[in-house]
Structure 1
Amino acid sequence: MALLLCLALTAALARGCLHCHGNFSEKFSFYRHHVNLKSWWVGDIPVSGSLLTDWSQDTMKELHLAIPAEITREKLNQVANVVYQRMDQLYKGKMYFPGYFPNELRAIFREQVHLIQNAIIESRIDCQRHCGIFQYETISCTNCTNSHVVCFGYNCESSAEWETAVQGLLQHINNWSNLLSPSFRCLEPPHLANLTLENASECLMQH
Structure 2
Amino acid sequence: PTPPPFTDERVEFEVRRLDYKVDTESNISEWVESTDSIKIRVVETAAAAGKTKEMFMIEMDGKHYAGKSFFTLNSESVTEPSHEENLRYLKAEVAVQHMTSQTVARFNTAATDSCVAIAPVKVAIPFILMVTEGPEAERAWLCDPLLSKTQTIKYSGMDTAGHHQEIYGSTCDAIAHFSLADSSEYMVLVDIQGTTRYQCLSR
Please tell me the TM-score bracket, short chain as reference: under 0.3
Q: Which has the higher strand share?
A: 2
Higher relative contact order (CA 8 A, sep 6+): 1
Query: TM-score, normalised on structure 2?
Result: 0.23
Query: TM-score, normalised on structure 1?
Result: 0.23
